[in-house]
Structure 1
Amino acid sequence: MQRLRIADTEDKLRKLQRELILREDFQSVAYSELLWNEALDDFSHSIIAQSELICFILMLIVHLSKSSLITFPLPLMVFFWGVLAIPRPSKSFWLVTAFYIQFIIVFRLLFCNELVQTLIYSEKEISDNNPFSVQRLLAIDPNINGSFWDIALLAMVFFHRYKLLRLGMCRVDFQVRERHLSFSDDLMQEEGDEKMLDEVQFLNFCLLNEYFVLSKISKSTSCEKFCEALLMKKIPSSMDWYPWMVGCDISCLILISFFYLILGHGGSGNIYLNIPFLFELRTAMDWTFTSTALTMADFTRMENYYNEIEAQHCWILFDHWTNNYFPTRKGQPTPTSGKFFKGVLSIIALIIIILAPILLFAFLNSFGTRAPPKSIHFVASIEGYPALYSTDTVFNDETMSHLSKHNMQTLINELTNLEESDIKRNALSFISDYTYQDVFLINLTHHSLRNWDISLPGKKQLMNELHSSKTMRIVFEMSLLRTVDSKQRSHNFILATALTSMQSKIFLNLINGSITTARMSFPFAQFLFAPPNGYLLPVNVINLALKRIHSVSTWQYHGDYWSVTWDQKFVIFVDRVIPSWITIIVGSGGMIAMYIAVILVVGRFVREIVRTPIHKAVIQNIPNCENLLRLFHDIYVVREKRKFYLESRLYGKLVFLMRSPETLIRWCRYRPLYS
């Protein structure tokens, strides 16, 4: 405390601060606080240094937050005045900007008041959602937010003006020019050097020339002023590229370091070792084409030892790096900064790995692109006989349309008003994944587009079977075609259901002409689902919730062809087509198969990193690998020098170290430094 009181210079204070940080009882807490203080200082200095750029960005954000005619001058001022001013915007620019922002704030506060709007506009005009209404164009609609950005911009402009005033950068050109002229006179009086006199006279000539040019421009018209100022040679200004160069270098270093750590130290590592048969092939080729006194088994064991020691060396370097920035002393708790760097990042990474399949399937529909249906083919036939009804529908505005927003909302409301049940919740969950643009209505033509081609003997046989007690089945086939990646993709749906005795009798009466029209019900669901690949499927959750399992239709036989009229339109939920790379990742097993794959493959990989077997404790707890690595390098050197006897002796020494933990501990401990 006494030394702190007598420290009268900045150097002495910094020396005391370093000594305080080196103390073990203060290091863990003080160093982390020092890091946060330095980060806060750097952030504040960056804000101060780039205040002009921040003002420009905030001016654009103000216009984007509430686009209107009253904020439209702000981006124009940025792009046609602020950024074109060299070397910096003038004092007038900041005064106009501050005044205009204050005008916008006062204008909005005045006209956004409900009482003022009620007096000026009618209730219909206030509730109008027309984007070209006066409230929208002038940004005085109470529903438009964004006043926070107005205040932030005004505060930043005032702060930037204060910075310019403190730095003396808001003076007019005449004051600066007058200062240069007076400064040159002082130089001529004090210095008698001819060279200095010539330089000062040249400076005066340049300044006077610029003064006459400016005075000439002032006498011209505004258009001539603008053109002459645009074509006149500007004072050369330098751009400080150093921060951008440093930022680019840091980004490149991070990418290179990340790639280097993935591959491992020296170009080898976990990726190289985990590629199947690559390590074995490389080791066999090295032993075959390298002159060595070791057997193939000894050569392979030595490579394995080297990989283990090199990997441990990488972990030691990583631990040293983390301990330098987040130190932890023995007998003291780990500082919060170290826990956040190691622990929180590990927790987030593990949670992302665990939830990755669920998140992928949850947002799977958002990755895809819409592929609307192009055509549909519908066939109804009695099993074993030609089709009774066949139609082909090309989807266009007349025969197929998206489900309107109103109808989509009506369907959702109909599901919402049902009693609470698992089926209702599943139906709402299913329909929430789709928008009205993904749902299509299908209108099938009433009359069959093809005649009922059946011979007289076949017709008599069909009538006999319908008249008998034999169970007949009617088959409905629907095929949906859509274009995906310039290819035609088909989705089929087949439903075969047995005819009841009453339905068989109805078909018999229709064929023999006893009746002309009949209504029948079949278990053909109204709501269908077209997945990215595969067959059309009924949406059971919606069909069960709304009780649309059966469809009622009216049948007519006209002698040569049939007519079928359905009471309700069919609705198809068309799933989006996901990219091929996502299809490869997801596979055909679905979320469960992918989740099992993640748990087995990624989980095993993570477990290998975290797991520490007892038989590897000797290697994985080595504090210093330098001596062992030096021994490996010596073996490689003597092998290159073809000293095979020495190679065998050094390898024997290496094997002895691996078999003797006590000797290995002595070899791998840090040597104390003596002064």
Structure 2
Amino acid sequence: MKPYKPPKFNRDAIRSGDYYMFEELEDEVCDLEEKEEDESGDENDPLYPSGKRKMSMSQFLTSALKTDLKKATDLALAGQSPQASDGSTGLGPLPESVCSPQERAAFFHARSEPCDAPLSHSSTSTRSERHPVYGVGDPLSGQGPEKRPDEGEGPSDQKSLGPEEEDEKSPNIWHKIVTFLKFAWAFVESAMVSMTIYLNRFSRDYRYVRKVLTVEKKMLKEKPGFGLGIRSGSGMIWEPPPGATASPSHLPSVDEIDQRDFMKQSDTPAFIYLVQAMWFAFIAHTDSVCYFMVFLHQVSEPTILSLPLPLMVFLWGTLSVPRPTKTFWVTMIAYTEVIVVIKCMFQFELLPWHEESLSEKSPFFPPRILGIERDPHYAVYDLVLLLIIFLHRFMLKSMGLWKSTNEDEIQLEEGEHYFMMEEGLESNTLPSAHTENMDTTEEGNNLRHRFGSQRSRIATRAGRQLLMVEQPAEEGDEQSPPAEVSESGGQLVVVKAQAQSLCQHFPKAFSMMTSKYGESVKIFFKDLLSPSKKVKADVYAYMFMCDFFNFLVIIFGFAAFGPQREDDGGVLSYLEENKVPIPFLIMLILQFALIVIDRALFLRKYILGKLVFQFCLVVGVHIWLFFVLPGVTERSFREALTPQMWYMVKCFYLLLSAYQIRSGYPTRILGNFVCKRYNIINMVLFKGFMFVPFLFELRALMDWVWTDTSMTLWDWLKMEDIFAHIFGLKCERRMEQEYPQPRGQKKAALVKYIMGGSFLFLIIGIIWFPLVIFALGNTVGMPNLPRDMSMTLSISSYPPLYSVSVQSPSITKFSEAEWNQLTTTYKSNRGAQTFFSNYDYEDVAVAKFSHNASNIWTISPPDRLRLIDEIQSNKEIIFQLSWNLVRKSASKSSTGKASDSSKWIMDKTHETERKEFIKIIKMDANATNITIGHLFPKFLKFTNRDTVHPVPQLMKGDTEEEKSLRKLTLRLYRGSFLDTGITEEWWGISELCGGENFDILKHLPQYSCDHLVMYVFNDKAFPETLSIISGGGIIACYIGIVYVASRVLRSIISGSTYRIMFTEVPCVDHILQLCLDIYLVRESGELALEEDLFAKLIFLYRSPETMIKWTRPRADDEADVEEESVAHPAPQQ
């Protein structure tokens, strides 16, 4: 055998996977289920003791899905939790034998009682943890269940009931109504329980400390001699005796305290618990309430005077470790009071700017931007903020957190002062008090006063604890020590104070002052950046949600961030015009850049960079929102809701960011935040995450760039794709275990109709959608009548004879009565009735053209002579009537304009018409008019495809022209106007009132021989959302929707054979654990081990045999071994 040679390069290591990596399969430990149960075990803490808590919403809905509504409702209303007996965190899967609803209910009733059969537990098997082991009474064993004396009749005995009893057992409508009402109340109660559990998670620490303090106070008061103490010192301050304040040796745990509370309040309704949980959540986080009130105060009054409040919150309070100091809250209280006083001073009417402020609308009006503008409610938010801060101050005092541990230098009067070493403190440097030799120190103030003590305690810079004693009674008795020191025999420290001029020691005094006030700042940043004082936390997911929400706010509310425009319809109006405003683009890019920078800092765990980013962001946001934005939009910040929403969400982001800085980044970043559990909610959230375009790719690329790894980019993407696939399979297998289908049982009709019926209707809808959308166009569309119509009659290449254009009110809409008159006129014409069925009365427009042309016939004498010669020479004279219609555009691809024309040729067969036409042109006094052929369209159809053509169904005739067009009469008019002496010529045309169709047309609404009356039938305009689909017509709609959808569906179904190897995996726990191990060793810096584990994962996908072996359920392996051992017993020797 060749010796093993470790790979030298990355690619060799990645491809070095082999079978030896999987030889120790039995030693592999997979604790995914244990981790999941530990995470879900939080529900056991907050409210109800174990075994007594009512159902939460998830437990109630799971119970309802696994049994039926009635049984689940009975369990919930009885106050029994499905996990009360077995200690599990949720309802496990049903045994395969439990099929009928009666058996399911009996199974759950059995699970609520102690189980005599032992349960098998295995850390490497998920099925053994989920399924109980049944004994002789197991339905799978073929033997009937052993009855107990106290048990009733089983389900099999119910079959012997008589018909009358069966009728009584069968539910009627009233029982169903009662069951539904009970279910509704149980659902509401479970929702309250879930809300209570959720709220109590936020107040657990506070409730525990509060209860322990209550117990300690009670035990202290029960001690004999409570209230005894001594008074000592110059101020005679009372102190308890030594040892009285020591903590007791044994205190009850929080579980014992909860048990006592439950025994007292076991029958308390869930609503009371919910109110109690809301109250505790409020008082446990009064600091967050104070912060929220500061943000609300700034949103309501965005002034320079109130701006320091949020800046102090973001740059001081929220960054203090471990909590905001007493100095911070005192500063907040003092500054808020100063704001109230300043506002009150400027509320008098005699100030000159109050009259101007009524008409001044500028956001930078000085009294308004400063915050001193007169307002009857000027101090409402300030007083509410003070009230909340004082409430928080009271809560801190009740918890003993208001006392400051800071040390302040003391100022001693000139002379000698005596201090005694505290008892129990050894000192080898100080002599006895009776000796004359004194230990001296350097000049300067080296003594500091400790706050929070009953007596005047002093601490030196060296750390020695001193206790101030009374001064001697007489000035001459300086060398005799105080009586208190003499009696106790303690050590004495004498401090001699001398007054000196500050100017003599100015450099040193300035240095001491700088160090005094700069030390606190130094300690502030040192505690903030020190990793030793932090409890790691991960709130990046919530920060990303805030940023993503603000991203959407900018997209849909950009109009509030830009300059005011009267016709501004927001971003959609810009997109409709295919324009992108530069400010909109800059804001989106900046918001996106902030998300990327935050992600980079999170991956690098760079606390200092995050702190700098936090400071820049706080200052930049407040400058932009309260100074730049009002100048750009020319309106105050509080006049638009969108910037206020953006600011409030950004404040929540900054709070989370400050908490992240204060707590520190997590040591290990393992996978996606939605992949922590394997239930249906996480699966749906992860599918949504994968559905967002480029989100998965962006996250993977950023993680690879800012994470220390030995993988190449393509290996990283391969690893992320494997994890995403395995996580989805894990969630599916979890759902299969939670809701198993019994073997050999047909699918329920309800499931088949819901799932199969939904897909069936979806496919049928896709097939018939184009036809339905065009057939129902008149139902979903809107009337779209022409707003401009014109008609022109021309002859060959000569100037037009007649030209008229009409608009409203010459274009009118049909009324319902006129529509009924029209349909009644054609009631015997089936073709007309079919045509009318596609329209409503709102779709018909009536246009009345004038008899006289609106243009002067400006033909020159030579052209007149040439026209006469052409008519006399029997050449073809072409008469052309064209019409143009304009209406509102229904879609981007439509112009809303349509035109068409008709022609009539005067050939040599029309001898009579030629003679009359020559007479008219030659100005013969006997000439009257001339009748020309079918040119005028009485009925037009205006389609959505921007086409207009005559309607042939409403008139009779032998040819298409006779069915669609009407004859016209022409007449040339001459005259002069306004005494100009200039003779003008113009043509007049009219419809020939006679003929075969005149008997029908004369009964039409608004018909008149004095005008050219035209009826236009208009197709309805599709809504803008449907215009995109229907704009290309039926064929394009079929190709774009039906064909593409069929190809996508076919690719999903037909390609399943190639994915069976990787999708139908029985157990993915080992593969998922291997992926998590790769994440773990990567975060630990073991890059060589990362390569080995990734090589193992790659080889697993290369070897189908190993994949089958590694994904086989462990319970099945153990069962096979047991069966083989039973079938083939070992031979006896």
TM-score, scaled relative to structure 2? 0.34
Q: Which amino acid aligns with 2:899?
A: F
Q: Which of 971, 982, 990 is the matching residue for 1:556?
A: 971
Q: Which amino acid aligns with 1:408?
A: W
Q: Which of 591, 614, 617 is the matching residue for 2:1034?
A: 591
How many Å separate the matches in 1 of 2:937 and 2:680?
55
> 1:562 aligns to what SS in structure 2?
strand
Q: Which of 905, 924, 930 is the matching residue for 1:518?
A: 930
> 2:964 aligns to what SS in structure 1?
coil
* 1:474 counterpart residue number: 879
How many Å separate the matches in 2 of 1:332 and 1:500?
85
Give matches, 1:458-497, under 5 Å.
Answer: 458-482=863-887, 491-497=897-903
> 2:715 aligns to what SS in structure 1?
helix
What are the Cα deviations for residues 243-295 of structure 1, in whole angstroms up to 9, with x where unaligned? xxxxxxxxxxxxxx999766635x633x24xx4x7666665554444432223
Deviation at 1:483, TM superposition (A): 5.4
1:455 aligns with 2:860: yes
Contact 1:479 1:490 in 2 (8 A): no
Root-mean-square deviation over aligned CA pairs: 4.2
* 1:645 counterpart residue number: 1088
Deviation at 1:300, TM superposition (A): 3.2
* 1:304 counterpart residue number: 721
How many Å separate the matches in 2 of 1:433 and 1:258?
49
1:610 aligns with 2:1016: no
Q: Which amino acid aligns with 1:583?
A: S
How many Å separate the matches in 2 of 1:581 and 1:258?
33
How many Å separate the matches in 1 of 2:173 and 2:1046?
36
Contact 1:471 1:498 in 2 (8 A): no
Q: Which amino acid aligns with 1:312?
A: L
How many Å separate the matches in 1 of 2:1047 and 2:836?
37
Give matches, 1:391-430, under 5 Å.
Answer: 391-396=804-809, 399-405=810-816, 407-409=818-820, 411-412=822-823, 417-418=828-829, 424=831, 428-430=833-835
Q: Which of 671, 689, 694 is the matching residue for 1:268?
A: 689
Deviation at 1:581, TM superposition (A): 2.6
How many Å separate the matches in 1 of 2:1101 and 2:174?
50
In structure 2, the CA distance between the partners of 1:435 and 1:597, relative to structure 1 (3 Å rule), is: same
How many Å separate the matches in 2 of 1:260 and 1:507?
87
How many Å separate the matches in 1 of 2:859 and 2:681?
72
* 1:332 counterpart residue number: 745
* 2:1021 counterpart residue number: 577
Give matches, 1:65-80, under 5 Å.
Answer: none
Rg larger in structure? 2
Instruction: Among all aligned residue pairs of Structure 1 and Structure 2, give the percentage whose two residues are the same amino acid.
Output: 27
In structure 2, the CA distance between the partners of 1:542 and 1:289, relative to structure 1 (3 Å rule), is: farther
What are the Cα deviations for residues 85-116 of structure 1, in whole angstroms up to 9, with x where unaligned? xxxxxxxxxxxxxxxxxxxxxxxxxxxxxxxx
What are the Cα deviations for residues 594-619 of structure 1, in whole angstroms up to 9, with x where unaligned? 12111233223333443443221111
Q: Which amino acid aligns with 2:1087?
A: F
How many Å separate the matches in 1 of 2:804 and 2:765?
50
Q: Gapped runs of 5+ residues in structure 2? A: 1-73, 81-92, 107-169, 185-678, 975-984, 994-1000, 1002-1012, 1120-1133
Give matches, 1:126-525, under 5 Å.
Answer: 264-265=686-687, 268-269=689-690, 271-272=691-692, 275=693, 283-284=700-701, 286-317=703-734, 319=736, 324=739, 328-396=741-809, 399-405=810-816, 407-409=818-820, 411-412=822-823, 417-418=828-829, 424=831, 428-482=833-887, 491-501=897-907, 502=910, 506-513=916-923, 515-525=927-937
1:27 aligns with 2:113: no
How many Å separate the matches in 2 of 1:511 and 1:518?
11
In structure 2, the CA distance between the partners of 1:649 and 1:388, relative to structure 1 (3 Å rule), is: same
How many Å separate the matches in 2 of 1:441 and 1:377?
13
Q: Gapped runs of 5+ residues in structure 1? A: 1-9, 16-20, 51-256
> 1:552 aligns to what SS in structure 2?
strand
1:565 aligns with 2:982: no
How many Å separate the matches in 2 of 1:630 and 1:39?
51
How many Å separate the matches in 2 of 1:470 and 1:463?
11
Contact 1:491 1:536 in 2 (8 A): no
How many Å separate the matches in 2 of 1:452 and 1:370?
38
Deviation at 1:377, TM superposition (A): 1.9
In structure 2, the CA distance between the partners of 1:32 and 1:40, relative to structure 1 (3 Å rule), is: farther
How many Å separate the matches in 2 of 1:316 and 1:508?
95
How many Å separate the matches in 1 of 2:904 and 2:963?
19
How many Å separate the matches in 1 of 2:1022 and 2:744?
55
> 1:565 aligns to what SS in structure 2?
strand
What are the Cα deviations for residues 509-561 of structure 1, in whole angstroms up to 9, with x where unaligned? 43224532122222443221223462433335556899631211121112411
* 1:205 counterpart residue number: none
What are the Cα deviations for residues 270-324 of structure 1, in whole angstroms up to 9, with x where unaligned? x24xx4x766666555444443222333333323323333343444455556xx2
In structure 2, the CA distance between the partners of 1:30 and 1:413, relative to structure 1 (3 Å rule), is: farther
Deviation at 1:593, TM superposition (A): 0.7
Contact 1:522 1:552 in 2 (8 A): yes
In structure 2, the CA distance between the partners of 1:617 and 1:495, relative to structure 1 (3 Å rule), is: same
> 1:268 aligns to what SS in structure 2?
helix
What are the Cα deviations for residues 391-424 of structure 1, in whole angstroms up to 9, with x where unaligned? 232332xx444345455345445655347xxxx3
In structure 2, the CA distance between the partners of 1:335 and 1:533, relative to structure 1 (3 Å rule), is: closer
Q: Which amino acid aligns with 2:865?
A: K
In structure 2, the CA distance between the partners of 1:297 and 1:481, relative to structure 1 (3 Å rule), is: closer
Deviation at 1:330, TM superposition (A): 2.6
Contact 2:770 2:1038 in 1 (8 A): yes
Contact 1:29 1:335 in 2 (8 A): no
Q: Which amino acid aligns with 2:828?
A: N
How many Å separate the matches in 2 of 1:628 and 1:343?
32
How many Å separate the matches in 2 of 1:379 and 1:637?
83
Contact 1:525 1:543 in 2 (8 A): no
* 1:670 counterpart residue number: 1113
What are the Cα deviations for residues 225-249 of structure 1, in whole angstroms up to 9, with x where unaligned? xxxxxxxxxxxxxxxxxxxxxxxxx
Q: Which amino acid aligns with 1:360?
A: I
> 1:495 aligns to what SS in structure 2?
strand
1:539 aligns with 2:951: yes
Contact 1:491 1:530 in 2 (8 A): no
TM-score, scaled relative to structure 1? 0.56
Q: Which of 1064, 1073, 1076 is the matching residue for 1:630?
A: 1073
Contact 2:680 2:731 in 1 (8 A): no
Contact 2:951 2:964 in 1 (8 A): no
Q: Which amino acid aligns with 1:565?
A: S
How many Å separate the matches in 2 of 1:363 and 1:280?
42
Deviation at 1:645, TM superposition (A): 0.9
In structure 2, the CA distance between the partners of 1:316 and 1:548, relative to structure 1 (3 Å rule), is: farther
> 1:494 aligns to what SS in structure 2?
strand
How many Å separate the matches in 1 of 2:942 and 2:902?
19
Deviation at 1:664, TM superposition (A): 1.5
Contact 2:680 2:735 in 1 (8 A): no
> 2:839 aligns to what SS in structure 1?
coil
Structure (1 or 2) with the greater helix fraction: 1
How many Å separate the matches in 1 of 2:105 and 2:951?
59
In structure 2, the CA distance between the partners of 1:283 and 1:27, relative to structure 1 (3 Å rule), is: same
Please identify, of 631-640 and 367-376, the stretch whose mean Cα deviation from structure 2 is larger. Answer: 367-376
Please identify, of 543-552 and 454-463, the stretch whose mean Cα deviation from structure 2 is larger. Answer: 543-552
